[in-house]
């Protein structure tokens, strides 16, 4: 089985920084610690309202990182121009609503095919691997192929929420959907990632889905870092992923 890459999302280092303004704590410093702890990539979501990561963070990450940057963003002209200026390794397109606390639900690729195909084309031509953050639905997976995405990232938020609510049966149904759609996307030639809401409790079953090649994890790791330090928090996640794959 392929090894599973860990992308560490550092958005919430910026959230803490922005609570006071100024420059501390520095997301680039966190990203470098994540690299040292075994992260295979860094993910940062430049939101339209800049509530966590700011434009200057993207500049710093692009010039300071040794591992690839996965730039999460909405499919807007402003974000497309930023991505084309920086040409990060990967661009993950996510739905974005101003009032939401975090990315709720996946992108409606099937309902927006022509626009997304036009949006993706220059990014792919510039060498970015374009990923679409979607729910585990066949219609979305199949539309992702048609619009020219290289990657889909399956939204694990519902699975993690059902686990946290103790709704084991519904969680297992959602898990089966994730596993089935990972296989379907892989069979259609897409690279398959997953993420959102993952923790030490939920990561192992997801990591065991054989078609997945990358997990993107942020909020839990930054929270756990308060108690144990970022490197220890990441090293344990890495170890749990590796054990699930073994």
Catalytic one among 12, 35, 52, 72? 72
**Residue 23 neighbours by CB under 8 Å, 6+ apart:** 17
* Shortest distance, position 218 Cβ to ligand PXP, whole Å: 3
Structure tokens at 51: 């509530």
* Shortest distance, position 73 Cβ to ligand PXP, whole Å: 10
72 noted as active-site residue: yes
Bond preceding residue 25 cis, omega within 30 of 0: yes
CB 178 within 8 A of CB 208: no
Helix (H, G, I), strand (E, B) or coil at 127: coil
Residues in contact with ligand PXP by the rule CB under 6 A: 9, 11, 45, 72, 92, 94, 102-103, 133, 153, 195-198, 216-220
Catalytic one among 45, 86, 163, 193? 45
186 noted as active-site residue: no
Nearer to ligand PXP by C-beta: 177 or 219? 219
Nearer to ligand PXP by C-beta: 169 or 220? 220
Structure tokens at 163: 């686990």
Nearer to ligand PXP by C-beta: 101 or 169? 101
Nearer to ligand PXP by C-beta: 9 or 80? 9
* Shortest distance, position 190 Cβ to ligand PXP, whole Å: 15
* Shortest distance, position 70 Cβ to ligand PXP, whole Å: 9
**For residues 155 and 134, what is the distance between their CA atoms, to the nearest angstrom?**
6
**Residue 187 neighbours by CB under 8 Å, 6+ apart:** none
Alpha-carbon distances, residue 55 vs 45, 60, 62, 222, 237 (angstroms): 10, 9, 11, 21, 29
* Shortest distance, position 149 Cβ to ligand PXP, whole Å: 13
Catalytic one among 155, 184, 193, 196? 196
**For residues 177 and 182, what is the distance between their CA atoms, to the nearest angstrom?**
8
Q: Identify the helix (H) or strand (E) that includes residue 90.
A: strand 90-93
**For residues 120 and 113, what is the distance between their CA atoms, to the nearest angstrom?**
10
Strand intervals (E) in 87-233: 90-93, 129-134, 151-155, 191-195, 212-217
Nearer to ligand PXP by C-beta: 45 or 184? 45
48 noted as active-site residue: no
So which residues are the catalytic ones?
Answer: 45, 72, 196
């Amino acid at each position: 089985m392929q090894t599973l890459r860990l992308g560490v999302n550092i958005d919430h280092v910026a959230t803490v920084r922005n609570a006071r303004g100024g420059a501390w704590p520095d997301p680039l410093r966190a990203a470098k610690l994540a690299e040292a702890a075994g992260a295979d990539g860094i993910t940062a979501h430049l939101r339209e309202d800049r509530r966590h990561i700011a434009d200057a963070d993207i500049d710093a990450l692009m010039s300071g990182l040794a591992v690839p940057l996965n730039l999460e963003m909405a499919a807007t002209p402003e974000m497309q121009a930023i991505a084309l200026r920086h040409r990060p390794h990967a661009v993950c397109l996510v739905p974005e609503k101003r009032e939401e606390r975090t990315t709720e639900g996946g992108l409606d690729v099937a309902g927006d095919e022509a626009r997304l195909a036009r949006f993706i084309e220059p990014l792919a031509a510039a060498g970015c691997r374009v990923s679409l953050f979607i729910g585990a639905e066949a219609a979305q997976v199949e539309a992702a192929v048609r619009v020219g995405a290289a990657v889909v990232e399956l939204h694990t938020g519902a699975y993690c929420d059902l686990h946290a609510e103790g709704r084991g049966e519904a969680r297992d149904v959602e898990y089966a959907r994730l596993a089935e759609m990972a296989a379907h996307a892989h069979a259609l030639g897409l690279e398959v990632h997953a993420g959102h809401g993952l923790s030490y409790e939920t990561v192992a079953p997801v990591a065991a889905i054989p078609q997945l090649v990358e997990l993107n994890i942020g909020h839990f790791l930054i929270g756990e870092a308060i108690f144990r330090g970022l490197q220890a928090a990441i090293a344990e996640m890495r170890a749990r992923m590796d054990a699930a794959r073994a």
